A and B are shown apart, each in its own frame.
Chain A
Amino acid sequence: QQPVQSPQAVILREGEDAVINCSSSKALYSVHWYRQKHGEAPVFLMILLKGGEQKGHEKISASFNEKKQQSSLYLTASQLSYSGTYFCGTGPINNAGNMLTFGGGTRLMVKP
């Protein structure tokens, strides 16, 4: 079952903050975040692992609540370049080889 992302869409002005949530019905080992701009391939933002380890870009922050099986991506002081669709991908406890289940995506538009 796909993780549920919320909100489905959000519009911001430059400089505003946003939070994108990802919620799973399964116990998780890892959460990946990707951004896809229109007409382009998804691009990696961050990996969060059970136990607190994070790998990713310094300017992006995220949290991973293992007990609630949820992750949140924090976008602060948004820029026009943040526009795109954000996807979370979840990896279960018994994950083998990086298999992920992606959510339906959150469309983010940043306006001047």
Chain B
Amino acid sequence: DVKVTQSSRYLVKRTGEKVFLECVQDMDHENMFWYRQDPGLGLRLIYFSYDVKMKEKGDIPEGYSVSREKKERFSLILESASTNQTSMYLCASSTTGYEQYFGPGTRLTVT
């Protein structure tokens, strides 16, 4: 079974802190994604990576950056967390042309 794991299920951070969210997949997928999920807005793509060190901006990249140094690991970085970044963050991975596999999500609260 494909497994996508995320470093934390729940995270509470203060405004201005630097936040790292990590995602690991075990199926050698070339594509990895970070989404943000808010009620009524569905899943919005923050960043996408199609290979090691390669990335593309999604629909809402402002305030976020990403890092992919190894194929199995994709990190989302909030350089200076703000309260409007309080949300559920979902990581996913896929092979091109096939379905995306999602991690369990990290619920981030910024106070």
Contact = CB atoms under 8 A, between A and B. Distances in A.
A62 to B, nearest CB: 14
Query: Interface size class for chain A?
Result: 20 to 34
12 contacts: A32-B100, A42-B102, A47-B99, A96-B50, A98-B97, A98-B98, A98-B100, A99-B45, A99-B48, A100-B45, A101-B59, A103-B42
A97 B42 contact: no
B101 interface: yes
Contact of B100 (A44, A55, A96): A44
Contact of A41 (B30, B58, B103): B103
Contacts of A96: 50, 56
Interface in B23-75: 30-31, 33, 35, 40-45, 48, 50, 56, 58-59
Contacts of A2: 41-42, 44
Contact of B43 (A43, A55, A102): A102
B90 interface: yes
Nearest to A85: B42
Contacts, number: 64
A96 B43 CA distance: 19
A104 interface: yes
Contacts of A34: 100, 102
B50 A97 contact: yes
A84 interface: no
B109 to A, nearest CB: 16
B104 A40 contact: yes
A102 B90 contact: no
Interface in B89-111: 90, 94-105
